[in-house]
Amino acid sequence: MSQPFRHGDGDRIDRTRPLTFRFGDRVLTGFGGDTLASALLANGVHEVGRSVDLGRPRGIVAAGVEEPSALVQIEAPFPEPMLTATTVELYDGLVAQPLAGRGLLSSEPDPARYDAVWAHCEVLVVGAGPAGLAAATDAARPGQRVMLVDERPPGPGEATPAGVRRLSRTTVVGYYDDNFLVAIERRTDHLGPAAPPNAARQRVWRIRAGRVVLATGAHERSIPFPDNDRPGIMLAGAALTYLRCYGVLVGRRALVYTTNDSAYPVADALRSAGAEVVVADTRLGSRGVPPAGNPPAADLTGARITEVFGEQRVICVRVGDRRLDVDVVLVSGGFNPVLHLYSQAGGRLRYDEDLGALLPDGCRQRVDVVGTAAGEGLPRCGPPPLPEPSAADSRTFVDLARDVTIADVRRATSAGLRSVEHIKRYTTAGTAHDQGKTSGLLTSAAVAAALGSSAAEVGVTTARPPYVPVAFATLAGRDRGDLFDPIRITPMHGWHVAHGATFENVGQWKRAWYYPREGEDMAAAVARECRAARTGVAMMDVSTLGKIDVQGPDAAEFLDRLYTNLMSTLSVGTVRYGVMCGVDGMVLDDGTAARLGPERYLVTTTTGNAALVLDWMEEWLQTEWPRLRVWCTSVTEQWATVALVGPAARGVLARVAPDLAVDTASFPFMRWRDTTVAGLPARVFRISFSGELAYEINVASWNGHALWEELVAAGAADGIVPYGTEAMHVLRAEKGYPIVGQDTDGTVTPDDLGLGWAIRKSDKDFVGRRSLSRPDTARPDRKQLVGLLPEDPARHLVEGAHIVERAPLGPPPVPYLGHVTSSYFSVALDRTFALALVASGRQRIGTRLFATLDGELIPVEVTGPVLYDPKGARRDG
Amino acid sequence: MMLITCPWCGPRIEIEFHYGGEAGVAYPENPAELSHEEWGRYLFVRANPKGEFFERWCHSAGCRRWFDLRRDTVTHETGSIG
């Protein structure tokens, strides 16, 4: 007979809609409205899997999210590991597997769509039971946005109060500061393969609520006894839910085992449905006699289960001195109001002796707890009774989901642990998918018993989000695939791509790294690019350099306060290199400042630091110097910039800038000129990051591509070569120019970098100046930037390699002198070289040190950082 | 996820802001005149109270203005400074 345990019409199922599903190798049927658990129970299936550590058979314990043990793996339509059978809504064609321990993640990408929404409301009610419905109805009035959120599917005949926005199949999983709550709506899970592919499967709701009402009900808890994990042993209230909501009689011979009055109506209902029921109440004497008018009375009082027979399914139990043949044991150890969200909100809990449960005790946030969650209607009940210590303790479970027994708890307390939080971490009790919803207080009671304390004193562990497991796919939503981080490209990017450039990421920018020609590897391409810059002419897209326009009557004063050198003494038309320090005296950034007018400067920053430097400027202007009349704006993307570099650069520029006098006397180093280049309005800077004669030509960004093409054409006769960031790095390193962020790490002063010359001589303060005379920053043995030449000119050092004084290393601790910050092969020097930060580096120039490389020690000679053209003879071409 | 009231833009979600540490630590008038210890205190020493704290925030994804905020470091209750 199909579904032999169906009995009557459950109010949630639709008997006109039969559904077929597979569980393991069995094909079974259920009805619309069933959960997987209710359909299994209707077919007489209790055992659904095996426990995670001990591999013991486990069955269905509860009827909702609190389920500790009935974990299944869904195979179709899409594989999902470790779902509770009690929350999976049945659909036609569902395929589930019993779970032995852990589930398996799918190796296929999830084809479903997920999304997210924001909502704001005056009142958010969590839970649509009687108390929640009443609260929502009370709150609803014009102008009030009221949301009612419930984790279950909409029940038959359940009306949504007028003026209330209701979300069903939606679980609030987190409650954060300022009444910010996160809920997960399961929109199409219950449709299975029939889910429309264009609909988001699940949706994250981020809700900001003026006031929150928690009507979250209560979870029943179990009672520890030996082998209390056998399939067929379940919560009494769950049995009633299966009967009333799903028309399922969970067993025909039931023992109801209770510490309180709530289980008596369960026994009554099961008897009415035709089951044989014996009620065993753990209470003695008068407390054991249920209140008048609450029939039937207990068959056994002061009774304890001492033995359970049957492995895959309970078949018999020993209660006191009686042996009872049963097919289910229905347990009630009292109730835990569901206060996870309340705790997350910062709510305090107090232990109520009458109810043997924790109740809300005040919260700083605007939240009310109503109904059962506030303890209303819960039965009087003590803490869960524990068996006398015995050898069976290692089979007496407090947390089924984690296979934690009373013996485990005692082992933890014997190891000296006292706090329930520590015991949680030691035993893992309460850390499974269910977070100990049915077991938390059992663990606390076991701890209390072991320590001779009380459950009230021991308390429970802190509830943390999420309240139920949430799939990462849901949280990711549509944010899959490429990162949201913007990809920034220059106006010349298309040319770089078309000419085979490889790219590197610099901050958010894509920068051309090198331009390999047919048959060239990276080393060959970079060598060719470097050679062109040093011997002919080369060009580079430097549009990404940060550019900040600083204007106002106090602009000069402002820059004097931020840069180590004076910018107020610059005359209009000139440019100066500048270093910026943090208040701690450490190098923050470097760049150039060009004086465009008496009250206007253009400053440049390192590519990756542009936003940081603008923030830095605005912070000082707003917080410390609000009286300075200065305005800063980013103009990085308003300009496209090309560096034209090499001894032949002057000739190329002369060809495209007929109005510009390019000789050194007319246009000396560190000057800028406004002119026309290739017919485009341009500003040309004579600055160099390679030591060669160089111009940086700035045009409006929309002219950038045209300028680039014109320069390529104008330089063709001289064999102009475009070069990328790698060659730029080599060229600047040959000259000992540091790159902030590569050769510095926030612990490096200007003097450490050899930039002492860039610190002003006048007494006028700049940010960080005082720090440069602190005893630590003035130490002579600070790490200083030096050059390193491997004795074998073919050996390439690794950036980050440690520097040590002698080889072999000798016994530890080996003094660590510093590390390699930049390392390249130099065409100009025809050898490898490196820059490094080395303790007392400048004093060590001329000495021999060693750099580590894969366990080998490479001998190197310490040199000054400037390895090429130390006299600066090449900058005028 | 705190709701922070920007004095210019009103209540906005925490992720629009960035944090700037303790409020009211002014850049010294004449750093050169400070002892190493006094300067070190300015650089490195900040209050870390349990409870009420006055701190700097910047509405970095909004109006980009800095402002001071009172925050309880235990409860995360915030309020603007009058």
Residues of B in contact with A183 (CB under 8 A): none
Q: Is there a contact between B2 and A178 if contact means CB atoms under 8 Å apart?
A: yes
Of A545, A723, A720, A573, the C-alpha closest to A640 is A545
Per-residue DSSP letter, A179: G
Cα distance from A764 to chain B (closest Cα, Å)?
A: 10
Where do the DSSP E strands lie in A273-382?
276-281, 300-301, 305-309, 316-319, 322-325, 328-332, 335-337, 349-352, 357-360, 367-369
Residue B81 is predicted with a pLDDT of 65
Interface test with A, best of B65, B66, B78 (most A CBs within 10 A): B66
Inform me whether the C-beta atom of residue B37 falls under 8 Å from chain A C-beta atoms.
Answer: no
Nearest CA in chain B to A622: B66
Inform me whether the C-beta atom of residue B5 falls under 8 Å from chain A C-beta atoms.
Answer: no
Residues of A in contact with B80 (CB under 8 A): none
Cα distance from B31 to chain A (closest Cα, Å)?
A: 6
Please name the member of A583, A765, A774 whose beta carbon is closest to the beta carbon of B36: A774
Beta bridge partners of A589: A580
Q: Is there a contact between A770 and B1 if contact means CB atoms under 8 Å apart?
A: no
Inform me whether the C-beta atom of residue B35 falls under 8 Å from chain A C-beta atoms.
Answer: no
Pairing mode, strands A328-332 and A253-258: parallel
Q: What token pair was written down for A311?
A: 């492995």
Residues of B in contact with A624 (CB under 8 A): 26-27
Is 0.90 topped by the overall pTM?
no
DSSP-derived 3-state class of residue A472? helix
Q: Is there a contact between A769 and B31 if contact means CB atoms under 8 Å apart?
A: yes
| pLDDT tens digits, one per residue of A529-564 | 999 999 999 999 999 999 999 999 999 999 999 999
Cα distance from A627 to chain B (closest Cα, Å)?
A: 15
Beta bridge partners of A50: A57, A100
Per-residue DSSP letter, A33: T
DSSP-derived 3-state class of residue A275? coil
Q: Euclidean distance between the first and final Cα of chain B, in Å?
A: 23
Rounded Cα distance between A78 and A108, Å, is: 9
Of A853, A840, A838, the C-alpha closest to A795 is A853
Of A259, A177, A400, the C-alpha closest to B14 is A177
Please name the member of A178, A770, A771 whose beta carbon is closest to the beta carbon of B3: A178
The CA radius of gyration of chain A, in Å to the nearest whole number, is: 38
Residue A288 is predicted with a pLDDT of 45
Q: Give CA torsion, residues A566, A568, A571, A576, to 10 deg.
A: 30
Please name the member of A176, A615, A771 whose beta carbon is closest to the beta carbon of B43: A771
Cα distance from B48 to chain A (closest Cα, Å)?
A: 20
Nearest CA in chain B to A778: B36
Residues of B in contact with A208 (CB under 8 A): 3, 13
| pLDDT tens digits, one per residue of A657-709 | 999 999 999 999 999 999 999 999 999 999 999 999 999 999 999 999 999 99
Q: Which chain A residues in 170-189 lie under 8 Å from chain B, judged by CB atoms?
A: 176-178, 180
- Across chain A, which has 877 residues, the per-10-residue mean pLDDT values are 86 94 96 97 96 94 96 87 94 92 83 94 97 96 95 86 95 97 96 90 97 97 95 98 97 95 93 94 63 61 92 95 95 95 95 91 96 95 86 94 95 95 94 89 92 88 92 91 90 98 96 97 97 98 97 98 96 97 96 97 94 96 97 97 98 96 96 97 97 97 98 97 98 96 95 95 94 90 97 96 93 94 97 98 97 94 96 91
Q: Is there a contact between B77 and A364 if contact means CB atoms under 8 Å apart?
A: yes
Residue A316 is predicted with a pLDDT of 97
Interface test with A, best of B36, B38, B54, B81 (most A CBs within 10 A): B36
Residue A301 is predicted with a pLDDT of 83
Inform me whether the C-beta atom of residue A571 falls under 8 Å from chain B C-beta atoms.
Answer: no
Rounded Cα distance between A220 and A859, Å, is: 72
Residue A297 is predicted with a pLDDT of 67
Rounded Cα distance between A335 and A222, Å, is: 9
Residue A295 is predicted with a pLDDT of 46
Per-residue DSSP letter, A757: G
Q: What token pair was written down for A181?
A: 């709550």
**Which residues of chain B fall short of a pLDDT of 50?**
82
Inform me whether the C-beta atom of residue B79 falls under 8 Å from chain A C-beta atoms.
Answer: no
Please name the member of A584, A622, A765 whose beta carbon is closest to the beta carbon of B31: A765
Residue A75 is predicted with a pLDDT of 87
Q: Is there a contact between B40 and A774 if contact means CB atoms under 8 Å apart?
A: yes
Q: Which chain B residues in 41-70 lie under 8 Å from chain A, judged by CB atoms?
A: 42-43, 56, 58, 60, 64-66
Q: Using N-to-C axis directions, what is the helix angle for A649-656 and A704-715, rounded to 10°?
A: 120
DSSP-derived 3-state class of residue A177? helix
Cα distance from B5 to chain A (closest Cα, Å)?
A: 12
Residues of A in contact with B77 (CB under 8 A): 364
DSSP-derived 3-state class of residue A801? coil
Of A683, A673, A703, A662, the C-alpha closest to A877 is A662
